[in-house]
């Protein structure tokens, strides 16, 4: 499954850069948060988008305003159950590649949308 492979690749990539994963695939009635992680400064809700390539559009373009609203609502629900001291933000991680092929190309878009 392409999405699960991309999320695993993104999680490994984040951990290799010093992020601590708090939750994966956190489900609420508003939707799912792919990865919730923190570093020394931020609590970040990551939306992971996996594509074979960017030939037709960048993967981040799939995070529409309606999707952003659902992610914000889901993050607010998570924060009610786990209040955070750190500054929260929303990042998008684009994963380009295919399982079994060369290492994926990963790009993190920090503070991808407000909230």
pLDDT in tens, 85-99: 888 999 999 999 887
Handedness of CA 7, 11, 13, 14 (dihedral sign): positive
Residue 115 lies inside a defined structural domain of this protein: no
Q: How does pLDDT run across 44-61, given as a tens digit for each residue?
A: 999 999 988 767 777 878
Between these two residues, 100 and 68, which has the higher pLDDT value?
68
The average confidence (pLDDT) of the chain is 90
Flag whether 38 is in a domain: yes
Q: Which residues contact 99 (CB under 8 A, 6 or more apart)?
A: 2, 5
CA distance 85 to 40: 11
Q: Which domain holds residue 99?
A: 2-109
Q: Is the pLDDT of residue 4 over 80?
A: yes
The total of other beta-carbon atoms located within 10 Å of residue 23's CB is: 14
**How many domains does the chain contain in total?**
1
pLDDT at 115 exceeding the cut of 60: no
Q: How confident is the model at residue 2 (pLDDT cuts 50, 70, 90)?
A: low
Please say if the pLDDT value at position 101 is more than 60: yes
The pTM for the full model equals 0.91
Residue 114 lies in a domain: no
């Amino acid at each position: 499954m392409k999405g699960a492979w991309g999320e695993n690749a993104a999680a490994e990539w984040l951990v290799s850069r010093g992020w601590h994963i708090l939750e994966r695939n956190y489900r609420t009635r508003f939707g799912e948060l792919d990865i919730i992680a923190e570093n020394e400064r931020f609590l970040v809700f990551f939306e992971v988008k996996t594509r074979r390539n960017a030939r037709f559009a960048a993967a981040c373009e799939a995070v529409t305003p309606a999707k952003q609203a659902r992610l914000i609502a889901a993050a607010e629900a998570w924060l009610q159950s786990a209040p955070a001291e750190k500054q929260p933000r929303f990042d998008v991680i684009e994963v380009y590649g295919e399982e079994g092929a060369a290492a994926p190309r990963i790009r993190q878009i920090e503070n991808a949308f407000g909230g």
